[in-house]
A and B are shown apart, each in its own frame.
Chain A
Amino acid sequence: AQSVTQLGSHVSVSEGALVLLRCNYSSSVPPYLFWYVQYPNQGLQLLLKYTSAATLVKGINGFEAEFKKSETSFHLTKPSAHMSDAAEYFCAVSKKAGGTSYGKLTFGQGTILTVHP
């Protein structure tokens, strides 16, 4: 079974500081990995995804994530936080990697990012 662990349910940073949101996964096969962002009372928006190409993945809004197989991690970073980055962030792993069935995502519990002025 695949699983995702997001370390830290709440992360607080100052505006302009580095953002680091941690995600570790377990998977019996090379996974597809995703980061989504959710603003209050809205749906999830795809930030970026890893699909076995480059290990450093760049996404929208200045975010990027690095796939590290040896550490089974896919941490999300942004060099300089902006007030508009305050939201909840979800890491997800696909249950399919080159198989024949449609992928089902397993989500982490989410990390709420607070940005202080």
Chain B
Amino acid sequence: DGGITQSPKYLFRKEGQNVTLSCEQNLNHDAMYWYRQDPGQGLRLIYYSQIVNDFQKGDIAEGYSVSREKKESFPLTVTSAQKNPTAFYLCASSISDGTDTQYFGPGTRLTVL
């Protein structure tokens, strides 16, 4: 089955710790994205990557970092510099078919204690 997987589903961390969220896709999609979702605020773009070894900041990149060493993987690190990291994080990918339709993973809920 092709799809996007995110792990873990739930993640708890102490304040001041860095944490890395995993996102893997076997759809052979070129582009991958990370979004943050907070109640009543829709989805906000954190980072996106069009090709391996290249990525760009989205609208709320401060306090986050990413890497794209493989086409299938786009991990997100939430650093201690992120002021309010508790949120639901969604990874997505898209193929360059002219419409760039994005497909989403199941999400990771991060809670910082």
Contact = CB atoms under 8 A, between A and B. Distances in A.
Interface residues of A, number: 25
Contact of B45 (A42, A44, A104): A104
Contacts of B41: 109
B45 to A, nearest CB: 6
Main secondary structure of the interface of B (DSSP, over half): strand
B99 A43 contact: no
A9 interface: yes
Interface string B99-113: 111111111010000
Interface residues of B, number: 29
Contacts of B99: 32, 49, 51, 94, 103
Contact of A34 (B4, B98, B101): B101
Contacts of B6: 43
Interface string A103-117: 111011110000000
Interface in A1-46: 9, 32, 34, 36, 41-46
Contacts of B92: 44
A109 B48 contact: no
B101 A102 contact: no
Interface of B: 4, 6, 30-31, 33, 40-43, 45, 48, 50, 58, 88, 90, 92, 94, 96, 98-107, 109
Interface of A: 9, 32, 34, 36, 41-46, 49, 51, 90, 94, 96, 98, 101-105, 107-110
